[in-house]
Every structure is written in structure tokens, then in C-alpha cells.
Amino acid sequence: MHSSFYKPAANYSIYSIGAGGIVKDAHLPAYKLAGYTVKGIYDIDKSKAAQLASLFDIPCNYESIDQMVQDANATSIFDIAVPASSIIEVLQKLPNGAAVLIQKPMGSDIAEAKEIINLVQSKKMLAAVNFQLRYAPFIEAAKTIIAEKNFGTITDIEINVNVHTPWELWTFLQTAPRVEILYHSVHYIDLIRSFLGNPNAVYAKTIKHPVHTNLASVKSNIIMDYGDFIGANIRTNHCHNYGQQHQDASIKIEGTNGAIKINMGLLQNYPAGVPDRFEFIIKENGAAASWETLAINGSWFPHAFVGSMSEIMKTLDGVTSEPDNSVQDVLSTMACVEAAYKSSAAGGQSIIDFL
């Protein structure tokens, strides 16, 4: 099974604002894979922008965002890949009516997320957020199986991440007040929302590790409450530095008549990764069945990033009224993130009263 890339009606020109690792490893490879045109790039670190311009044959390496804006037109899309705290500043420099794809998360907290919403509305922008996991080929395959086979009603989604993440690759996180949920588990919160909609409530605890005392948090447990019959759980530990044998990065989805298990190889031995694995099982007439392995063409990086960008293009083409990953939709993901941090800060029920 494979994902087919959206072919836009117009030849849209993508302008990349940011030239960090995620742009090099995912954004630009994805657009090259899909045949999308990247017209220009800008970064405050001119050497990084120059390197990527050369590597990906990008014709314009701009000295400033203002210079980039002068070349843009009605078929331009600004691809913003900067730290969350810099998103508002970048948006303020872009023209009214611009089409923009914002790298997740949508701001540093819910207040910034709402400010971004207000800003793009006042500037009449077409704006979406790059929560690309929901467009990963293995997620598209899962949704196809759930829709087309006798999978039944989803009863459980469980995401487990037990890996060693090289946090030093993202220097801006060393001083960020929020790390694990805002910059990593937010993917899984958004993914669960894409399957189940908004939860009734969120419970969470996010913590540090003695090896990474400079980071705000590196491990989390999150429960998204969908009532008495649906479980939605996220557990992440980024400090399993004991080889690959017991590392795990998996998504399990259970229904009343079937189940899916996805191994996300990207996160193991990051950034080199290991192969993904997709397995599923469907009971036939309630009888016992065997697990099957499905070959998936493509992975989270870079293929899912095509999906995020194509949502903007579909709306520009008039195929959809708004992107699936619109800032309005993603506000709910950011609300879940805020609820998770508030829950973590409030703490659990003390046992003292029961002793």
C-alpha cells in the first residue's frame, strides 16, 4: 500500500523560512519527492540557508524575509519552520492574504496559539500547521483499514515511545520552558484527535531526567479521556540509552473486531532510524484470525510532510474549503497540550487522606 501525492492545479512556489534540521531532513526532501517547487529560502544563519539552497537547487537565498516577500505572489506559499516563540514575529512580516504552513507546535502555549489565530484572521491568511504525523503513509493505511475492513469501533489507542533521543540536535530546546509534550508528544495528541476527535479531559505528568537537568522535561504519561469505553494513552521516555534491543516506538489501535500495530522506526536510533513495521488483524465472522504484515511505501520522514503542504494546495485549488490541518482545527490540539501541562502541575490525588 502506498500514498499518492496530491498534484496541484497551479505551480505553487514554496518559500522556506528556516533552514534547520527538520527543513533539511523532511520539508525539502518531501517537496522534492512530490515535485513541488521551492523558489527561495531564508534563515538568520545565512550559512545554513546557503547550504540547503545548494543541496536542493533552490534558486534564491534571501538576506531577509522582507526581500523574500517582495518576490512572492498569489501562487506563493510560505513554509515557516522556526522555534514556536518566533512564529508570531515571522507572521507579522508576511503580507496580508498569504498562504502559510507553520511548523508545529502552534506557539509556545495556548495564549500564543490564540494570538496566532487572531493574527492570521486579521491578515486574512490561509494558514495551516504542520502536524504531519496524521498524514504519514502508515497512518493513511490504518485509516483505510478502519474505514474499509470490518474493523469495528475503535476502543483503544496506545502510543509507547521508549527510545534514546539526541536532544542536543535542537539547541533552542536547552532554554525552552516546555519541551517533551509541546515538541514531541504533541504529535500523538494531534494524531489521537484525528481518529477520535476532542477528548472530554486530559490527565498528564511530564518529568525531567538526571542526565538532562537542563531540559524542562523528557518523559511524559498522558491520558486522553474519551469516556468509559475508549482508552487513549501516551507514554514517552526519551532516555533509554541502553542500545536498540528494547527500544520501542509504536502505535496500537484496537477496534471491536480488529487491531493495528505500527512500529515507527524513525524514532529508534534517531536520526538514522530503523525500518517501519505495519501489522493488522481482522476477525472474520467473529472467528480467530492471524496477524498480517502490510508493506507500506514511505514513512513519517519525509513522506508525511507532503500531506501537510498539500492541504494548503487543495484549499488554494478550491478542492477543499479549508485545510484539514487548519489553525482553527489545531487550536484544539494546543488546548489539549495546555490541559496536559496544567494537569501535570496540579498533581494527582494524595494518599494521605486515605491512610
The pLDDT tens digits of the residues spanning 208-228 come to: 999 999 999 999 999 999 999
Inform me whether the pLDDT recorded for 60 exceeds 50. Answer: yes
The mean of the pLDDT values for the chain is 96
Q: Which has the higher per-residue pLDDT, 286 or 14?
A: 14
> What was the pLDDT predicted at 201?
98
Query: Per residue, what are the HEC states of 99-121?
Result: EEEEECCCCCCHHHHHHHHHHHH
Q: What are the structural domains, with CATH classification, of the chain?
A: 13-131 (3.40.50.720), 134-293 (3.30.360.10)
> What was the pLDDT predicted at 2?
42
The pLDDT tens digits of the residues spanning 167-178 come to: 999 999 999 999
> What was the pLDDT predicted at 1?
39
> What was the pLDDT predicted at 285?
77
Which pLDDT band, with edges at 50, 70 and 90, does 3 fall under? low
The pLDDT tens digits of the residues spanning 182-199 come to: 999 999 999 999 999 999
Over residues 320-344, mean pLDDT: 98
Among residues 177, 108, 171, 126, which one has the least CA distance to residue 345?
177
Instruction: Note the pTM of the prediction, 2 decimals.
Output: 0.95
Burial of 4 (0-12, 13-18, 19+ CB in 10 A): exposed
Over residues 238-260, mean pLDDT: 96
Inform me whether the pLDDT recorded for 262 exceeds 80. Answer: yes
**Which residues are CB-neighbours of 110 under 8 A, at least 6 positions away?**
334, 335, 337, 338
> What was the pLDDT predicted at 211?
93
Over residues 106-124, mean pLDDT: 98
Which pLDDT band, with edges at 50, 70 and 90, does 288 fall under? confident
Over residues 270-281, mean pLDDT: 94
